[in-house]
Structure 1
Amino acid sequence: MSLLTLENLTVLRGQCPVVEAVTLRVVPGECVGLIGPNGAGKTTLMRAALGLLPHRGFSSLARMAQAERARACAWMPQSREIAWPVSVETLIALGRLPHLPRGSRLRADDRRAVEAALAHMGLAAMRSRTATQLSGGEQARVLIARALAQETPLLMADEPIAGLDPAGQIATMQVFSELAATGRAVIVSLHDLGLAARHCTRLILLSAGRLVADGPPRDVLTEEHLREVFGVSAHFEQTANGPVFQPLEVL
């Protein structure tokens, strides 16, 4: 069963393709890392797949009605602005809106989902704090928790670990990989290739809007791809503690 199907997805800026003829499928159990240099088209690809940008080609999510799409995919954009001075718990509970009949209160299943999201992101002790008064890193964790509380089959996150400290970055990627292991799927764009190699089951490499490689990290983070797409060399080793990937120098 496909949770996202793209066929020849293309996004134009004027006559220039920003994303060009991308075809792929994402199925349950995958933690997919979307990688590529700045300007490669990662954000544009995700926004078009969600129907948030005009595009050519086919996206299974974009063709859904808005309410159906909100139950099929949770979306975490790069923007992390929290506009309302509500409690952390209240903000996370907003993730349950796609599942609630209009005007109804949180039910037992909704409260369970909120509690699970608080626990996953280590926010239980902050539940009563005002979200706008948290640090930037703490706010990022709250917004990830809101997406987790949505409990959709697919979660798409655009650079969710940017600005987090190392422990927060690792913990967040562990949450994503654990979600995939339970039968859901995650698509996460990120620049940290080391974390991508360790926690993603699959990498999709974009360059100038084109899909360059798609497969297991070992097959995507090759010497050739690193040189041609990123312009760097790197060390990649499978160790007893899992894969270790370290960029070394600019070529």
Structure 2
Amino acid sequence: MMLTLKNLTVLRGQCPVVDDVSASIGPGEFIGLIGPNGAGKTTLMRAALGLIAHRGESSLAQLDPMARARAAAWLPQAREIAWGLSVAELVALGRLPHGRDQATRGAGAVNEALARMGLETYRDRAATQLSGGEQARVLIARALAQESPLILADEPIAGLDPAAQIDTMEVFSAHARAGGAVLCSLHDLGLAARHCSRVWVMDRGRLVADGALADVLSEALLAEVFHIRAHFKMTLEGPVFQPLSTMDH
């Protein structure tokens, strides 16, 4: 397994923000982490990485920092780039966990990451001069250049245009198909349905469902967790998610 969580709990005061979560991620899986705002998705990923205090166990948190960085790449929600580096230089920072090994592999990994995110023509531009969406793609490329088998990404497609959203999800899918794994928090249930092999559904700090989205995304769950009326169905062209109204209407 690339990540194993056992009874993971994070408290804010006496209130559990993540409440007794046990789950695992194996090679080849692209897991969508879904749930309403405040469900605990970001806190779960940060605790899994050992970035915040927690109870229970995370296989990643038990590693020393350099080994952890080689095992998992982290894409937080915060995307502001404050360093006056070129795009290529910033993406190359993803190679730091590899130390001396980056001398032989580093340039190739950076070039591949730039190509996968469609950034080859941006490589010499200052990253701070790019648009917000372009900067988001640069940071994803940095995570790819890290070549860690597991990627944890917190709302990586928020703010991207539709084409960039689809491209990013396809990049993550390809990473999983190549033997890696991805845990990605999302609010777009349609994209989750099309690209994720499994979903974890969080609500009020608890993991309330884990499985193929078509199996777990019932109308009852949508009403209970997301407070919406919606239809989800499989068609010949793929899964379709259609929100209809909130539960107040």
Same fold (TM over 0.5): yes
CA contact (8 A) 2:66 2:97 kept: yes
Measure the CA separation in 1 of the matches of 2:147 and 2:162: 26
Identity of counterpart residues, as a percentage? 66
2:44 is matched with which residue? 45
Amino acid at match of 1:6: L
1:24 is matched with which residue? 23
Measure the CA separation in 2 of the matches of 1:71 and 1:11: 25
Alignment RMSD (CA, Å): 1.0
**How far is the alpha carbon of 1:83 from its aligned partner?**
1.5
1:241 is matched with which residue? 237
Measure the CA separation in 2 of the matches of 1:96 and 1:24: 29
Query: Following superposition of structure 1 onto structure 2, how do residues 141-152 of structure 1 map, counting pairs within 5 Å?
Result: 141-152=137-148
**How far is the alpha carbon of 1:240 from its aligned partner?**
2.4
Query: Following superposition of structure 1 onto structure 2, how do residues 56-67 of structure 1 map, counting pairs within 5 Å?
Result: 56-67=55-66
Whether 1:155 aligns to 2:143 is no
Measure the CA separation in 1 of the matches of 2:118 and 2:237: 24
Q: CA deviation digits over 1:68-120, x for unaligned, max 9?
A: 0000000000011111111000000100111123xx8x534211111111111
Amino acid at match of 2:50: G
Corresponding residue to 1:125 among 118, 121, 128: 121
2:226 is matched with which residue? 230
Measure the CA separation in 2 of the matches of 1:113 and 1:60: 26
Amino acid at match of 1:215: G
Q: CA deviation digits over 1:140-182, x for unaligned, max 9?
A: 0000000000001100000000110111111101111111111
2:71 is matched with which residue? 72
Amino acid at match of 2:24: R
1:212 is matched with which residue? 208
Return structure 1 stretches of 4+ with deviation > 4 angstroms: none
**How far is the alpha carbon of 1:248 from its aligned partner?**
1.8
The TM-score with structure 1 as length reference comes to: 0.96
Corresponding residue to 1:165 among 145, 158, 161: 161
Aligned length: 247
1:135 is matched with which residue? 131
CA contact (8 A) 2:219 2:231 kept: no
CA contact (8 A) 2:9 2:21 kept: yes
The TM-score with structure 2 as length reference comes to: 0.97
Tell me, what secondary structure is at the counterpart of 1:179?
A: helix
Corresponding residue to 1:177 among 161, 165, 173: 173
Tell me, what secondary structure is at the counterpart of 2:96?
A: helix
Measure the CA separation in 1 of the matches of 2:83 and 2:139: 13
Any gaps of 5 or more consecutive residues in structure 2? none
Measure the CA separation in 2 of the matches of 1:220 and 1:113: 37
Any gaps of 5 or more consecutive residues in structure 1? none
CA contact (8 A) 2:214 2:233 kept: no
Amino acid at match of 1:14: G
CA contact (8 A) 2:5 2:22 kept: yes
Which one is further off, 203-212 or 110-119?
A: 110-119
Which one is further off, 11-20 or 229-238?
A: 229-238
Whether 1:203 aligns to 2:202 is no
Amino acid at match of 2:31: V
2:107 is matched with which residue? 111
Tell me, what secondary structure is at the counterpart of 1:100?
A: helix
Whether 1:98 aligns to 2:97 is yes
**How far is the alpha carbon of 1:59 from its aligned partner?**
0.4
Q: CA deviation digits over 1:16-69, x for unaligned, max 9?
A: 000000000100000000000000000000000000110000000001000100
**How far is the alpha carbon of 1:191 from its aligned partner?**
0.6
